[in-house]
Amino acid sequence: MPNAYISGTGFFAPPRVVTNDDLIKEYGIDTTNEWIVQRTGIEERHYADEGVATSDLAVEATRIALKNAGLEAHDLDMIVFATLSPDHCFPGSGVYLQKKLGLCEGPKAKFIPALDVRNQCSGFVYALSTATAMIKAGVYKHVLVVGAELHSHSLDLTTRGRMVSCLFGDGAGAVVLSATDEDRGVRAWKLGADGRFADKLSQPIWDISKKPFMPLDANGVGQVAPEMMWAQMDGKLVFRHAVERMVTVLMETCIEAGITGNDIDLFLFHQANLRINQYIQNEVLKLPDSKFIHNIQRFGNTTAATIPSLLHEAVESGRLKRGMKVACVAFGSGFTWGSVIIEW
């Protein structure tokens, strides 16, 4: 049975940087830099321009990952695309990425499968686990796993929406997961979900049980109430469950891999809130800063893109080296959660 290892990483964020002060000056949001930093750790984030799609961000991250893997797009056997902000309601963004990578044209056209994963903040962990299973089963040799988000176009950038809008940024991360006979790669993974809290962190946008699913005016134009259109969150409940689920799934994955938390060299926690991650690190795991890497200060919460962005930065900075054990842990809407342990 082959092992599945990450042969290349990539990350891309749109060039426009929006600081906390920019939220105040440009958008008129009644907040302060100190308030946002104290509660979230976020200092700035990146916003894409109008006309840019989630799959456009994914293309840039993918090209970097392919280059680092020493591969071409036509070497890929499958795409697994995790996002909560797809280009359209349907189809999924995986097929748009496939087309933009040039896989559908010319004499070398290769119509590889494209799978979309809708697990929000834990989407990349779910996607990576799925791709690992495909490779370990011997079905595919190279699988592209992408986490990409374009939040800025669907945020309530007013004082009314400040509790949520200050959290999110745009970006895309990608890894190429490849088969190998070497003793390395993904060692274990655990996933979970609790649908009892599905509405506690959600963006309803429409209710498909209604006829029509979106209220219409006299001209047949859809009208969406703010509470349906914008993301809603019970912050205190999310914080409590995030801590509990992330710690539990991490320990379960360590047991599955036959190691302890002390054996892990680097922890990559989903970048939803720096205070959640610091609480887990300092109050629960009691581990030093040298074992953790964060980038939420610069990018905000990029949802499915946070963990692949951390992987790319860890590799590029030299903090993640061959033979190290890395734990990727995420929690998000659903509630859903997951953990993956990789031997680099």
Give dist(CA 112, CA 240) in Å, integer: 41
Let me know: does 13 contact 169? Beta carbons within 8 Å.
yes
Q: Which amino acid is at 231?
A: A
Which amino acid appears at position 39 of this protein?
R
DSSP, residue by residue, 288-335: -GGGB---HHHH-B-GGGHHHHHHHHHHHHT-S-TT-EEEEEEEETTT
Active site residues: 121, 270, 301
Chain centre to alpha carbon of residue 336: 13
**3 state SS of 243:** helix
Amino acid (one-letter) located at 50: E
Sheet of 266-269: strand order equals 185-193, 336-343, 325-332, 266-269
**Amino acid in position 324:** M
Nearest in space to 244 (alpha carbons), one of 252, 256, 232: 252
